[in-house]
Chain A
Amino acid sequence: MSSLLELDDLHVWFDLGEGRELHAVQGVSLSLDAGQRLGLVGESGCGKTTTVLGLLGLLPPTASVSGRVVFNGKDILAGGEDSIRPHRWTDLAIVFQGAMNALNPVQTVSAQIVEALEVHGSASGRAARSRVGELLEAVGIPRDRGNRYPHEFSGGMRQRAAIAMALACNPSVLVADEPTTALDVMVQAQILELLDALCRDFGLALLLVTHDLPVVAQLCDRAAVMYAGEIVEQGPVDALFHDSRHPYTRLLFAATPDLHSDGALAAIPGAPPRLDRPLEGCPFHPRCDRVFSRCPHEHPALKRLDGDREAACHLNDVPAEVA
């Protein structure tokens, strides 16, 4: 395997004090090729954001992490902060949901991007200022607006500025964590169009973290569905929608409203399990509509299936005519 970015058996534990811990990410493996768009989807608390923060070495000190993050064949997690720092922003950049938090409120947008370029040694002085102009144009902000402060921007413009900043050092992977969640649908469409164009024009690989299945269905090639800290299914988005191999994926799509389908929407009963105690069996079995004898006792491993996909469900071991 020679993927651009590989995540191998990532685990993250948060120390809750008094000897208790939360096993937020439970052995996640992902791979991303150059120029590929992968959606990491799941509901709140499933570990998707923790996964990408772990991937970028951005977790707080209360977290312990194991596993490998391999970028261009090299494990960049092994040496801790010292081995990740040279890659963060230069190879792997991130855009967060609340763009206001990523931008410094007391500095103009241009000044912040110049600073980012200088800190990472990508450019300085006049070269940096001209690069800022290019970056702003690439994300659809008129050059002369760069000398404004973040609060003078609308939500959509701020998110564009945050994307410009992430692109400053020519990364090959852009991680976008809920990049359109707080935005209106028309502004969301503008940002999705921008991400689409950036991937196409600059060959960026995109890791899109979101709870919004339709956004992934429209923008990504592949998706990984997370539940209770694990990936339960991954594959091409078309296969996930039309031929899912995990009941959670199917039920999640069935709970998602669509503009032109009049079928009834079905909620998934129950709630995800707590991750501060060991789980037995399949983490989804209490909510599953296809649960059978093996599910409460045996934890299903993520297995490779036909058609370039993987799923963690015992039903895939059962011959089709029986299931």
Chain B
Amino acid sequence: MSANDRLLEVDELVVHYPVGRGIVGTMARRPRETVRAVDGVSFTLERGELLALVGESGCGKTTTAQTVLRLLEPVAGRISFHGDDITSLGQRELRPLRRRMQIVYQDPYESLDPRLTVRKAVEEPLVIHRAGGSKAERAELVQDALERVELSPPGLFLDRYPHELSGGQRQRVAIAAAIVLGPELLVADEPVSMLDVSVRAGVLALLDRLRRDGLGVLMITHDLSTAAHFADRIAVMYLGRIVEEGPAASVVSDPQHPYTKALLSVVPRRDPRERTRPQILRGEAPDAVRIPAGCRFHPRCPIAIDDCRRIDPALEPAGGSDHMAACILAG
């Protein structure tokens, strides 16, 4: 596959948020501080691929995804969609692209308008984008989207309101509304974390099928077990950077970065005989206003050496093929 045909390519993305100084800070002319939420993130996503962006809260995974969709403005870096640089397109130029990249949020209770029936909720994106042709053709697209998310027969669901649906059904409606325009890229931000265990697997299997049909999926999750099951590749973020990236099986079974190793070691296993030997990191990640010099993980790293205070490691090949880690001691 040529680079030009690549669905998504993100290169050295940087996103900052200003920190409010407060009235006292403003009058005292204290320097403005910034949160370096995303601090040099690069990755690619192909058609039919599911990439899981994992990490703890505040690591920048959601900011990364929202910036990729141009819902937030980057300070630096480049976002290419099908080889076209979309980093600095204006809102008007973005409009035709919007229907090709869609997002599903964590909470289907909030993302669906309680006053809209399922029919209206799934039809709305078509109306907004003046897509889908005549009313009858739109109705057909809505039915088709509901079939694809396995709300069938669609007739059973079309006239229901969100409060009449279970959590899993609501999330399926949200996915139907996201795919009705036939996007090529779907960002799924913690798509199952609000759902009960018994229905999670069904929604994830649905995303998996959409991926097989050619959709590129960028899944944001804090749940490594879910990523291990459903992702083709996993990228682990810490404090605004990807610190490790590779094929899911390889990252999970042969982690190269000490942060990934620690993170994997504390995931509880469902079999009581598989007693985990957690390697618990003390404290919590520092805030992204004061990112440590050198390797940003060194203050919490169990194996840090002197060089780690000075060298900010780049993501380089480590472990198996296509596997990379940002650690001078990896490999």
Expressed in whole angstroms, the minimum distance between the Cβ of B186 and any Cβ of chain A is 20
Bound: A266/B208 CA distance, A: 13
Name which residue of chain B comes closest to A268, CB basis. B198
B278 touches A (CB below 8 Å):
yes
Q: In chain B, what residue has the closest Cβ to A263?
A: B229
Rounded to whole angstroms, the CA-CA distance of A218 and B263 in the bound complex is 16
Contact residues in B for A241 (Cβ distance below 8 Å): 270-273
Task: Check A214 against B268 for contact (C-beta < 8 Å).
Answer: yes
Cβ contact of B278, chosen from A156, A189, A215, A267, cutoff 8 A = A189
A253 within 8 A of B: yes
Q: Tell me, yes or no, whether A237 is within 8 Å of chain B by CB.
A: yes
- List residues 263-279 of chain B with CB under 8 A from any CB of chain A: 263-264, 266-276, 278
B223 nearest CB neighbor, chain A only: A257
Is B269's CB under 8 angstroms from A189's CB? Answer: no
Smallest beta-carbon distance A200→chain B, Å: 15
* Chain B min CB distance to A25 (Å): 19
Interfacial chain B residues near A186, Cβ < 8 Å: 56, 262-263, 266, 280-281, 284
Q: Which of B205, B225, B262 has the most chain A CB atoms closer than 10 A to its own CB?
A: B225
Q: Are A255 and B200 in contact (CB under 8 A)?
A: yes
> Min CB distance, B63 to chain A, in Å?
16
A258 pairs with B269, CB closer than 8 A: yes
Q: Within the complex, what minimum Cβ distance (angstroms) separates B296 from chain A? A: 15
B211 interfacial by beta-carbon distance below 8 Å: no
Interchain CA distance A69-B133 in the complex, whole Å:
65
Within 8 A of B (CB), among A206-251: 211-215, 217-219, 237-238, 241-242, 251
Q: Which of A44, A218, A255 has the most CB atoms of chain B within a 10 A radius of its CB?
A: A218
Contact call A256/B202, Cβ cutoff below 8 A: no
Task: Tell me the smallest distance from the CB of B162 to a CB of chain A, in Å.
Answer: 15
Contact A251 B269 (CB under 8 A): no
Contact A214 B222 (CB under 8 A): no
Cβ-defined contact, A214 with B199, below 8 A? no
A323 to chain B: which residues have CB within 8 Å? none
Question: Do B269 and A217 have beta carbons less than 8 Å apart?
Answer: yes
A271 and chain B: residue at smallest CB distance: B166
Convert A175-195 into 0s and 1s, putting 1 for each residue whose CB lies closer than 8 angstroms to a CB of B.
000000000111111101100
B284 and A185 contacting across the interface, CB-CB below 8 Å: no
Interface size grouping (class) on chain A:
35 or more
Contact mask for chain A residues 247-277; partner B; CB cutoff 8 A; 1 contact, 0 none = 0000111011111101001111101000000
* A192 CB contacts on chain B under 8 angstroms: 268
Tell me if B4 counts as interface (CB < 8 A to partner A).
Answer: no
Most chain B CB atoms below 10 A, which of A189, A253, A255:
A189
Complexed CA–CA distance, A76 and B229 (Å):
47
Q: What distance in Å separates the Cβ of B12 from its nearest Cβ neighbour in chain A? A: 26
By the criterion CB–CB under 8 Å, are A252 and B198 in contact? Answer: yes
Interface pair A218/B268, CB less than 8 Å apart = yes
Q: Indicate if the CB atoms of B196 and A43 lie closer than 8 Å.
A: yes
Answer whether A256 and B280 are a contact pair too, CB < 8 Å, given A214-B268, A215-B268, A218-B275.
Answer: no
Task: Please name all residues of chain A whose beta carbon is closer than 8 Å to the beta carbon of B284 when the two chains form the complex.
Answer: 154, 156, 184, 186-187
User: From residue 236 to 293 of chain B, which have CB atoms closer than 8 A to chain A?
Assistant: 249, 252-253, 262-264, 266-276, 278, 280-282, 284
Specify which of A190, A238, A267 is in contact with B198 (CB 8 Å cutoff): A267
Which of A43, A193, A238 has a CB less than 8 Å from the CB of B280? A193
Q: Mark B173-200, 1 if CB is under 8 A from A, else 0.
A: 0000000000000000000000011111
- Which residues on the A side are within 8 Å of B229 (C-beta)? 257-258, 262, 265
Q: A265 contacts B204, CB within 8 Å?
A: yes
- Cα–Cα distance between A219 and B268 once the two chains are bound (Å): 9
Smallest distance from the beta carbon of A46 to chain B beta carbons, Å?
A: 9
Task: Please report the C-alpha to C-alpha distance between residue A260 and residue B273 in the assembled complex, in whole angstroms.
Answer: 13
Kindly state whether residue B91 has any CB partner on chain A within 8 Å.
no
Residues from chain A with Cβ under 8 Å of B197 in the complex: 43, 211, 213, 252, 255-256
A255 and B197 alpha carbons, distance in the complex (Å): 6
Q: Is B35 in contact with chain A by the CB < 8 A criterion?
A: no
Known: A259-B224, A259-B228. A267 touches B202 (CB 8 A): yes
Contact A214 B270 (CB under 8 A): yes
A44 to B194 Cα, complex, angstroms: 10
A186-B56, A257-B225, A258-B269 given; 7 more Cβ-contact pairs under 8 Å: A185-B224, A214-B269, A215-B268, A217-B271, A258-B228, A262-B249, A271-B199
Q: State the 10 A-B residue pairs at the shortest beta-carbon distance, nearest first.
A: A267-B202, A214-B268, A189-B266, A265-B201, A268-B198, A257-B225, A267-B201, A184-B56, A43-B196, A217-B272
Q: List 18 A-B contacts (CB under 8 A).
A: A184-B56, A184-B222, A185-B266, A185-B267, A213-B197, A213-B270, A214-B268, A217-B271, A217-B272, A253-B270, A257-B201, A258-B270, A260-B228, A260-B252, A262-B249, A265-B200, A267-B199, A271-B199
